[in-house]
Amino acid sequence: MSRRKLVAGNWKMHASKEGSSTLVQDMLSSIKAFDRVDVAVCPPYPYLAQVQALVSESRLALGSQDICEKTGQGAFTGEVSGQMLVEFGCKYAIVGHSERRQFFGDNDDRVAAKFLAAQAAGLTPILCVGESLAEREAGQMEAVLERQLKAVLAAAGVKAFGQAVVAYEPVWAIGTGRTATPEQAQSAHAYLRQLIAAEDAIIARDLRILYGGSVKPDNAATLFACADVDGGLIGGASLDAAQFTAICAAGHGA
């Protein structure tokens, strides 16, 4: 089965109010031709309303870079709930990004809770998993991926992955200019699909697994051609409309 590709741009803590408008407008004028790929952008929270207004009549979807694991309202200063994100037109919510895990204490249990909170609000979680360079060199890649994925499977159940996206982001390739080879990416993606297939073969077959780790226009087509790579979670290149559009074109043609 050929799964529809998804290219999602994660702006991280970049951009400005004026820059966000220019970036989105440039993207909108370019992605119209790529109707065989789904495209989303995940700007910082302060720019959600602004970007929502720009994309509301387009096929460019909106996502958040994180979500609070608490649902409803409450005394959680500084947090943003799934219900709030839905009000601003978000379709996706990134959970478990390596930077959240590394710098902000998002352990496996908290990531699982955020996954559940996203789905409870009607959002599609983009669950990030991946190993560090030390873990890969120690031969622990599969063990790390299994631990991170099974924490969510235990909390949410395999059926929840029918309304979710997984993103494999080798931590050693994020923002470093290093990219996993197509063979390395395919191996990790196939292993993740295998873990899901052990629970439900149909959900595993349909699950979109994205690659995130220094995807650029010159390597996107090769990565997206891998059997189990269903698009990309794009960091730095999503801040350049021309580069991001070229990556979308690779997804459209894959």
What parts of the chain have a pLDDT lower than 70?
1
Beta-carbon contacts of 179 under 8 Å, excluding residues fewer than 6 positions away, are: 173, 213, 214, 215, 216, 219, 223
What is the pLDDT, as a whole number, of residue 2?
73
Is-above-0.95 flag for pTM? yes
> Among candidates 197, 175, 183, which has minimal Cα distance to 227?
183
What is the pLDDT, as a whole number, of residue 178?
77
Q: What is the pLDDT of residues 104-113, one digit of tens each?
A: 999 999 999 9
Catalytic residue selected from 69, 97, 99, 189:
97
Catalytic residue selected from 69, 99, 131, 169:
169
Q: What are phi and psi of 244, to 5 degrees?
A: -65, -40
What is the pLDDT, as a whole number, of residue 99?
95
Tell me if residue 131 is catalytic.
no
Rg (CA), the chain: 17
What is the pLDDT, as a whole number, of residue 175?
72
Hunting for tokens 């989105």 — which residue is that? 24
Tell me if residue 189 is catalytic.
no
Beta-carbon contacts of 87 under 8 Å, excluding residues fewer than 6 positions away, are: none
What is the pLDDT, as a whole number, of residue 1?
54
- How far CA 130 is from CA of 89, 212, 239, in Å, comes to 28, 9, 23
